[in-house]
Amino acid sequence: MEKKVEITCISCPMGCDVELEIDDNNQIECMEGNNCKAGEKYVRNEYYNPTRILPTTARVKNGVLPLVPVKSKDPLPKEILEEAMTEIAKVELEAPIKLGDIVIENILDTGVNIVTTREILKKKQ
């Protein structure tokens, strides 16, 4: 029994709605609606291995701000994003913090680092 899946391609500003026909072995049998090769590549990757950049915040101790924005340096598998958020929530960084500091190295054994996306100065005592 075939199933149909629709994915909106975001590889370019066109935003094509691509329809996939999936066979009983969970393989793409037919793809319609993409207007370019980049769209085909994006949709295949999104169907078989969806990933996302994870932006969030981490707590800061003794900083002028209580939180620092952080993100995954590379995309993470979509199915582990909640678990990654739980790991990041356990972290409390000590100010001063520099842009690009590694917050968590190799989060959840993915090979991806969580890094800061701004600097935070130390609070004056």
Domain positions in the chain are: 3-48, 55-116
- How far apart are the C-alpha atoms of 92 and 123, rounded to whole Å? 15
* CATH hierarchy code of domain 3-48: 2.20.25
- How far apart are the C-alpha atoms of 45 and 40, rounded to whole Å? 9
Which of 17, 16, 7 shows the shortest CA–CA distance to 50?
A: 7
Within 8 A by CB and 6+ apart from 41, the residues are 11
- How far apart are the C-alpha atoms of 67 and 4, rounded to whole Å? 43
Digit-coded pLDDT (tens) for 83-118:
999 999 999 999 999 999 999 999 999 999 999 999
CATH architecture of 55-116: Roll (3.10)
> Nearest 5°: CA angle at 95, between 104 and 124?
170
- To the nearest whole number, what is the mean pLDDT of the chain? 95
